[in-house]
Structures are given as structure tokens and as C-alpha cells.
Structure 1
Amino acid sequence: MHPFPLLHLPLVAKENVLSMMISNELIELSLTSKRVRKTVTNFSKIIPKFRVTLGVTSILYISIVLKGKNYAYTWETDGSDQKRKTENPIELWMFAYNYIKGVLRCQLDKIHINLSSCPRDNKSITDWLLSQQETVAKAEISNSGVETDDDLKYIMSNITVTDKLMLSSSEYKENFQMEIPSISTDLFIANSRFVDFEQLLRLKNLHITLYESRLTNQELNKFLKSWMAFESHLMLETFEINVSGPEAMEVIMDLPHEETADQNVTESFREKFPHHIDETVEIGFDIKRKDGKVATVCYGNTDDGHLFFMFTR
């Protein structure tokens, strides 16, 4: 059988053939020769951009998504991959992304980093990521039972996240403090015990979720009063935080409010908090801001524990 003469096809026919290929097929094709690589690279300039996630977890991975299809390349971080035992998996991972980026003209959409996976390399990985892009749309940063405070601060002070920032670290030093970037639209902190009241007031994210918080009911009451006085969180759309139980509402709601007129408050709640789609909330209360904007607050006993919710209308 003769090889398929891709390079000899008319331009339109060539583009039709390439458009039927998935990401890993394009990458493998580009490895056959310099001429083919140039052809694939030129084609990648006119197709929709691939979305790429770079991961440093129990494995190193590159995930490529286009039109709902996901393809991944992985490397073991513990040397268990005998085929690559003598090679540095992080260098291979970086080299592979540089190659894929050059061929597919892709943009880095998300980083997913467990700071406990390659602790000696966290700073160099952060520096390398910064050399690729100064901003990413999404980031999920975690650790696994090992304190990585300095590495967390370093990556947060160097990488700008514009859309969704998830901090899932489970361990901090006793007096750990860190300024939280407010650029991202969504902010989720799984262990937010380091976030004090003054820091809460400085947050400007549109959607804020704080779990394992140490903020008191009195401080949450002050937070609502600050919003009502048009002093903080001017662009806030949703707020979610853990509380001790339904009794917390008595202290938190010690301010002007009225029972919400929304007869479908549970449906409104689920629309605003889709990750709680199967949850129900108790009767909500409406509070009004100085400029007339209304927010509904409510309590729910959810799978994630006792939570206080606020969403603006």
C-alpha cells in the first residue's frame, strides 16, 4: 500500500483531512517530518484553539480538550515507569508541552498542582509556568497532608488566575497567613481557617466559597452590614461559608431583613449554587443594600455540613 500523499493534496483537501484528526493524531503526524510538522502548525493557526490543562499530581499529565473530547498524556512522578526510569519526568513533561504548544498553537487553560507531589520542584515548576503564560483561566492548588506554605505563597504571588481559583490545601502552619488574589471570578478555599475578617472584607471576587472557616457569627453579621452599607463586596454575586448550625442565623441576621418574597427560593438557590443541585434550604431572608440592590440569605444542612448562603438578585 502506498503512503497517503497528504503534502501533495490541494490546500482545501489537505485542511479537510487535518480537520478530521483528533489532537493526538495531529501531534503524532507532526513527528513524521519537519515538512509535515510545518503543515500541521500552519493548520493549527486557523482551527479553534485547543484547551490544555497541565497537572502535577500523583502523575504528571497534559490534558487536551476540543469540542468536548479529552485526550491526555501522562508521566509517573515516582520512577515506577521503567521505560522512562533514567529520564527526568518533569523535564519530559515540560518538553512535551512546549512541543504540543508549538504544533497545536494551544493556550494553557488550567493548572492542577498538588504541591506535595514534587516538593523539590515546586518553585522551578512555577517559574516555568510563568514563562509560558502570565495568566491562566483556572487553577486548582492542593497538598496532601504535608505543609507547603511557602510554595503556595510563591505560586499565588506569581501566577494570575482570571476565572476560577480553587485552593484545596489541607495543611498549614499554625499562624499561616497569605494575601488572596481577588482577580479571579470564582474563589473556592477548602480550608479557609487562615482567612480573617479584615481579609474577607478585602476580597473582590464575584463568587466566594469558604469552608472550614473560623469566622464568627458576629463577624458574618458585620460582613452583611458592610455589604448593606455599600462598603465592601460591591460586585459580589454568591457567598457560601460553613456555620455551626441553624442557631447561627439568630446572630448573623441581627440586622434589618424580611422574609423573602420569592416563592421558589430553593429553585433560585439551586440556580445560583449548581453544585448543591440536590440540596434544599430553609426559608430565605432578603436584605437590601444602600443602592437598592437585594440579596437573599439562607441556611442549609447539606452534604458539606451546615452552610450559610447569600446570593444577589
Structure 2
Amino acid sequence: MNSIPFLRLPFLVIQDVVSMMCPFELIHLAKVSKRSKRIVKAILDTQFHKKYHVDVYISEDYGTAIKNGKNSWYYMYTSRRIPTNYLLTEQTVLGSTIVFLQNFTLNKLDDFQRICDLCHDLFGDFKGIDINMDNTDNQSIIDFLRTKQESFEDCEVCSISERGDDVKHFLENLEITRNVSISAQISEDININLPENVENSIFIQHSKFIKLEQFLALKSKQISLNSTKFTNQDIRSILMSWMATESHLNLERLRIAFNSTSTEYILQNIPIEDGDEFQMDARLVELRRAPRGPDIRREDGKKARVIL
């Protein structure tokens, strides 16, 4: 192989070799030259090799996560000193292989942008964003990602410190189309426009900033809000709006945490039916089975179990 430059081999031979490479090897080959990048991209663009998708991954380190089914390869940049300037680790969890490549850099943001550019060129649009906002580069990262694409399917946003302004900047500049999960600390007095057209699910941990009219505009199938400021009257209004087919027409599952000393008023004078216990898919709720209890009926005939 040393006597025959790899890229001078017949294309079918190159294709066979490239098809056996892991994402790290594909990235490193693409970095060799413009020609090698074109060849890698051409092979990855074939229908047979459309097997990877890429997420943006921001923690203490910055980088991308290239995924193929259960397996993931994290190509990261870190400002923490590493003895050899890079560190490769691999672990297997529940049958899934996770490989981390940490590269030492003095400028995480610049190198992050470069690896994003390369991965975007090779693998196509990013699918999701997983971002820990306990850093100082959030808005720069968001602004950069918007230059690559304006919408993503999924996001997971977290923080330990208060990051309401960064979450607001995130939601104002990037559209999330399928799943939103936000567990970042958000103060209750901030004004944030929630994405109304998220198709599948919305989960928000610190939800006291959400107003009733904002909630009624959501169109997701599954909604879970922790720590809201909603009152009994608000919950009553939500149920009545659903029954009148005024909101949440696609709703399949709803969970709202709110403070109340008594919930008897919520269903007062609302027509209810006695419902039997049934098995539940506990993706958004802790209960495995829904107990016997009141059902409410929508104008179009659809029923919902109310558990208070």
C-alpha cells in the first residue's frame, strides 16, 4: 500500500475500503486533501452508505456525534490538557458502542466550527443538538449553527446555572421540528416564545415562565411540564379548551406539575364519564397503569383520562 498511493487505486477498490472505515477514519481521510474529501463525500452520498446521521454535542468539550443505529462516535475538542494531545476511549453500554475522541486545542470554538463544517459537508444536515449551556460560548455556537441550517429535528438543552437568555436566543434562532427537551435553569420572569409547531414531544423542566396562552398554542403530541405556575383555574381552562377542540388537537399525552391544596374545583360542572383501568405506555408518565377515574370527551368523540 505504501508503494501505491491510495487515491490512485480503482474507484471500486477505494469504495470498498472506505465503506469499511469508521467515522473517525472517514474524517481523517477527508482532511488529507480536497480530492480525498470529494471522494469520501461521493461515497457517503450513495444510497447504500446513507447510514450515518450527525448531532451537535456541546458539553465541557465541543464537537459532533456521528451515529449509526446503536453506535456513536463523538469527535470532540477539549481545552483540558491531554498527555498525547488526543485521547480515544470506548465503552459498551446495553449493547451500544460509544467511542470518544478528545482532541486538545487552545481554541475550542474555532475547531468546533471546523469539524462541524466538515461533518456537515460529509454527512449532510445535522439531525439534533445536545447542548449543556454551562459555558460562555452559547450564543456564538447558536449563531454559527444557524449559518449551517435553520432547523433541526431534536434538541436537548440543559444547565445547572440560570441560562434563560441563552435558551431564549436558542429558540429564537433555531427551529426544532420534532422533539424539544429543556432542563436548563430558566427564571420565571423571562419572556420566551415557545416553539408552537413541534410535532412529537415537548419537555420543559423549569416551566414557571410559561403563560397559559402560550401553552394553549402548543401542537405537540406529547407535552410534559414540570414546576409550572398554573392554577386550578388554568388547568380547568386547559381541559375545557381541549374538549371544545380549541387547542391541542394532536395531543396524545399530557403531564403538568402544579401546586394546589385541592383539585376538586377543576372538574366541577364538567361532564365526565367513569373510565376503567388500562395499561399505559409510560414514556412521559410514571404510572404503568391508569387507575379507574374520570374521562372527559372532546366534541369529536375522543376521550381522555384525567388523573389529578
TM-score range with shorter-chain normalisation?
A: 0.7 to 0.9
Per-residue CA deviations over 1:63-118 (Å, capped at 9, x if unaligned) read 100233200122225x545848772111111111212222x233211112222212
Per-residue CA deviations over 1:95-150 (Å, capped at 9, x if unaligned) read 11212222x233211112222212xx3222111010011100111222222x3322
Shift in alpha-carbon separation, 1:85–1:274, aligned structure 2, 3 A: closer
Distance 2:232 2:3 in 1: 72
Matched, 1:107 2:122: no
Contact 1:53–1:108 (Cα < 8 Å) also in 2: yes
Shift in alpha-carbon separation, 1:200–1:37, aligned structure 2, 3 A: closer
How many residue pairs get aligned? The number is 286
2:71 aligns with 69
Gaps of 5+ in 2: 86-102
2:97 aligns with none
Contact 1:207–1:236 (Cα < 8 Å) also in 2: yes
Contact 2:58–2:130 (Cα < 8 Å) also in 1: yes
Amino acid at match of 1:105: F
**Higher strand content, 1 or 2:** 2
1:167 aligns with 182
1:282 aligns with 291
CA apart distance, 1:26: 1.2
1:19 aligns with 19
Amino acid at match of 1:63: A
1:311 aligns with none
Amino acid at match of 1:115: M
1:45 aligns with 45
Shift in alpha-carbon separation, 1:97–1:86, aligned structure 2, 3 A: closer
State which of 87, 106, 130 in structure 1 corresponds to 2:146. 130
Amino acid at match of 1:286: D
Distance 2:250 2:24 in 1: 41
CA apart distance, 1:287: 1.3
Across the aligned residues of Structure 1 and Structure 2, the Cα RMSD in angstroms comes to 2.6
Identity %: 29
Matched, 1:252 2:266: yes
Shift in alpha-carbon separation, 1:86–1:66, aligned structure 2, 3 A: closer
Contact 2:253–2:284 (Cα < 8 Å) also in 1: no
**Higher helix content, 1 or 2:** 1
